[in-house]
Amino acid sequence: MSASLDRRSFMSYFAGAGLSTTLFPGVLWAKLSAGADITVETIASAEEVAGLHFDQAERELMLDGLKQQEQRIEALHKVPLANSVSPAIVFHPLPPGKKIPSEPRRPMVRSRVAHRAVPADIDELAFLPVTELSEMVRRRRVTSLELTQMYLARLKRYDPVLRCVISLTEDRAFKQAYAADAEIRRGRYRGPLHGIPWGAKDLLAVRGYKTTWGAGPYRDQVIDADATVVQRLDQAGAILVAKLTLGELAQGDIWFGATTKNPWKVDQGSSGSSAGPASATAAGLVGFAIGSETLGSISSPSTRCGTTGLRPTFGRVPRTGAMALSWTMDKLGPICRSVEDCAIVLDAIYGPDDQDNSVIAAPYHWNAKLSPRKLRIGYVKSAFDLPQIDPADPKRTLHATKKFDDAALDVFKSMGINLIPVELPDAPYDPMRIILSAEAAAAFDDLTRSDRDKELVQQGKFDWPNSFRTSRFIPAVDYVNANRARSIAIQKWDELMKTVDVIVTPTGASNLSQLVATNLTGHPAVILPNGFRDDGTPVSLTFLGGIFEEAKVMAVARAYQDETGFHLKHPVVPLTPPTPTPTPPPGS
C-alpha cells in the first residue's frame, strides 16, 4: 500500500539488500519463457545466480520435478487474479500466547474545546483541527456546506502548485454536505466527523470515481465499490471532497501527472507515498485525510509536510477496497493536524468488516484525560546519542535532526516525565524486506508479465518495474524463512513492550531500523512535527506503542504536542490566479 519514504529514501532502502543474489527458480523460468527446455545446463546457470551448488547427478534427478513445476506455474499464470484477491494465508502481529481482551465499545473521552467566533473570512477556518471544526459544525456556527465550498475552492486554488489532487469528488461532496446540514438542523448529530470535509489517498475505491493508484496503467480504472474506510467515514457523516495523490503504486511522490509538492517548500516533493494526503492536510485543503503505510508512507510525508500521522497496528483497520501492495504489511491510517484528530478518525474506521481477514476485534478507547505520567515512557537511547556528524567521516551525517531531538528530551524533562532508556531488539530487519518485495511483485505480477510496467513513469534501478522483475527471483523457501525470522522479531518486540508502554525515538536518525522493524512487526506509531529547520521545513518525532495500544501512544504524543505547539504553525503556499468559490447545485 505504501512502501516508500520519498524516492531517494526508497532507493537507499533497497540498495545493498542483496535481492539479486537470492535467485534460483526465477532464473529458470526466465529462460523457459524464451522457449528453452529445462536441462542440467539451465539448472547449473540458475545455481550460479542463487549461490547454490548441486552435482551432476543431483541436477539430473531434479529434471522431472522442475518440468512438473513449470507446468504448474504455467497453469497458475492462466488464473485471473485481481489485485483485490488476497492470499489464503493471513498474517497477524500477535506473539504466541498473547490474548486480546474483549470489551464493549465505549464512547471517546474528548478534550474540552474553546468556543471560537466565526471569522469574516471563512478561509481562516482552513487550518483548524477537527476538534475545533466539529464544535463549530455541531453548534451550527458554520455549516458543512460552507466548509465544503471553502475546501473545494482551496483545492482548486492550490492544486496547480502542489499537484496533490487526482480527482475532485465535487458532486458527491455537495450531496453529502446538504444531507449533513439537514440532519444537524433536525437534531441528529452523528459525532465529531459529521460535516467535516476530508480527502482519500487514491488507492481507496470510491464508487463512481476513478481509482488510479497514481499509476499510468490504471489512470482510467473505476472500481464499482466504496472501500470499507470510505463507507465508515460516510456513516460518520464526513464529506469526501477529493481523491488525493500517491506516488505510483505507492512509491514516493511521483505519479503519472506530476510530483506532489511540500507546502513548506514547493520546489521540494512532499515525499510519499501518502504524498497528497500529507500535502493537502498541511496546506489546509482538507479537514483530514486517509493515507496508508507499508514501509514509511505515512511517516515520511508527515515528516516532510509537518502533519500528524497515525500508523495503526497491523490488523486494526480494514483494507477492503484499498490497493494491495503487501498483504502482510499494508496499513491504513489518518493524516491530520493534531494527535486528537487522529484519535477521532481512528474511532470511526477501526474494527472488523467481515471481509479483510487480517483485522482483529481488539478494543480501542480514546481518553483525552489519560495522563502520560501514569505510563512508562521509554526512549531509544542509542538513537538520541548518535552524534550529528560521523567522527570517522566528517562528510557523513548520522543524525541530521539531533538538535531538535535533544530539545525533545528537555521538553519531557520539563513535563516531569522520566524517560526510561531502551534499545530496539536485534533482528535481521533489512533481510526481511524481501517479504515486501515478494508480495509486491505478486500483487502486480500481471503488470510485469504483460509488459505494461513500461507505462509507469519511474523506470530506474530501484523503481517498481525493475524491483518487480528482480523480486520474481526470490525463492519461496527464503520468503517463508524471512517470515519465520519475523516471528522471532515479533516475540522480541513483545518482550520489550512489557517493560514500557510507549517509546519515543528520532524519526530520521541515519539508522531507520525502527521504521523497518515496526512495519514488519505491526506496531503502531504516531509521527508529529518537532520543530523547523532554518529553511522553514519541518522535522518530526516518532512515538511507538504496543500492539493495539494506539490510545496510550496518542496520549503521550498529544501531551508532547500540546506542550510544544509546533502543529499550530502553517505553511504559506504561493498563490495561483484566484479561483471562484464552487457553486453547489440546488439542494434542500
CATH number assigned to the domain comprising residue 523 = 3.90.1300.10
Domain count, the chain: 2
Same domain membership, residue 422 and residue 320: yes
Q: Are 538 and 306 in contact (CB under 8 A)?
A: yes
Same domain membership, residue 251 and residue 346: yes
Give residue 47's pLDDT.
Answer: 85
Could you give the maximum distance between any two Cα atoms of the chain, in Å? Answer: 86
Structural domain includes residue 443: no
Handedness of CA 444, 446, 448, 450 (dihedral sign): negative
Question: Among the three residues 45, 60, 79, which one is the final residue of a domain in this structure?
Answer: 79
| Contact residues for 45 (Cβ-Cβ < 8 A; gap 6+) | 27, 31
Amino acid at residue number 152: L
Judging by DSSP bridges, how do beta strands 288-293 and 261-262 pair with one another? unpaired
22-42: b or e for each residue (b if 16 or more CB lie within 10 Å)? bbbbbbbbbbbeeeeebebeb
Helix 476-496 with 513-521: angle, nearest 10 deg: 100
Judging by DSSP bridges, how do beta strands 239-244 and 197-201 pair with one another? parallel
Same domain membership, residue 62 and residue 142: no
Measured between alpha carbons, how far is 578 from 478 in angstroms, rounded to an integer? 56
Structural domain includes residue 554: yes
Q: Are 341 and 112 in contact (CB under 8 A)?
A: no
Same domain membership, residue 296 and residue 217: yes
Going by C-alpha positions, the residue among 276, 343, 335 that lies closest to residue 308 is 335
Structural domain includes residue 227: yes
Measured between alpha carbons, how far is 200 from 220 in angstroms, rounded to an integer? 17
Give residue 199's pLDDT.
Answer: 99
Same domain membership, residue 136 and residue 66: no
Same domain membership, residue 275 and residue 166: yes
Give residue 587's pLDDT.
Answer: 65
Same domain membership, residue 527 and residue 396: yes
- Note the pTM of the prediction, 2 decimals: 0.92
| Contact residues for 102 (Cβ-Cβ < 8 A; gap 6+) | 361, 363
What number of helices (H) and strands (E) belong to the chain?
19, 15
Q: Which three cell numbers stand for residue 275?
A: 504524498
Structural domain includes residue 186: yes
How crowded is residue 90: how many other Cβ atoms within 10 Å of its Cβ? 13
Structural domain includes residue 56: yes
Q: Which three cell numbers stand for residue 557?
A: 504524543
Q: Which three cell numbers stand for residue 494?
A: 513483545
Gyration radius from the chain CA atoms: 24
Measured between alpha carbons, how far is 127 from 305 in angstroms, rounded to an integer? 14
Same domain membership, residue 43 and residue 164: no
Judging by DSSP bridges, how do beta strands 393-397 and 239-244 pair with one another? unpaired
Which helix (H) or strand (E) covers residue 308, if one does?
strand 308-311
Q: Are 436 and 3 in contact (CB under 8 A)?
A: yes
Same domain membership, residue 72 and residue 154: no
Listed as own residue / partner, the contacts of 481-487 with beta carbons closer than 8 Å and 24 or more positions apart are 482/431, 482/432, 482/434, 482/435, 483/91, 483/328, 483/435, 485/427, 485/428, 485/431, 485/432, 486/432, 486/435, 486/520, 486/521, 487/95
Same domain membership, residue 212 and residue 66: no
Structural domain includes residue 332: yes
Q: Are 280 and 199 in contact (CB under 8 A)?
A: yes
Give residue 361's pLDDT.
Answer: 97
How crowded is residue 390: how many other Cβ atoms within 10 Å of its Cβ? 14
Same domain membership, residue 167 and residue 26: no
- The pLDDT tens digits along the chain (588 residues) read 544 444 334 333 333 333 333 334 554 555 445 456 889 998 998 888 778 899 999 999 999 998 998 898 899 999 999 999 999 999 999 999 999 988 899 999 999 998 889 999 999 999 999 999 999 999 999 999 999 999 999 999 999 999 999 999 999 999 999 999 999 999 999 999 999 999 999 999 999 999 999 999 999 999 999 999 999 999 999 999 999 999 999 999 999 999 999 999 999 999 999 999 999 999 999 999 999 999 999 999 999 999 999 999 999 999 999 999 999 999 999 999 999 999 999 999 999 999 999 999 999 999 999 999 999 999 999 999 999 998 999 988 888 999 999 999 999 999 999 999 999 999 999 999 999 999 999 999 999 999 999 999 999 999 999 999 999 889 899 999 999 999 999 999 999 999 999 999 999 875 568 999 999 999 999 999 999 999 999 999 999 999 999 999 999 999 999 999 999 999 999 876 556 677 788 765
Same domain membership, residue 139 and residue 60: no
Which domain does 185 fall in, by range? 128-428+484-568
Judging by DSSP bridges, how do beta strands 389-390 and 420-422 pair with one another? unpaired
Structural domain includes residue 297: yes
Measured between alpha carbons, how far is 467 from 30 in angstroms, rounded to an integer? 15
Structural domain includes residue 417: yes
Going by C-alpha positions, the residue among 228, 200, 198 that lies closest to residue 213 is 200
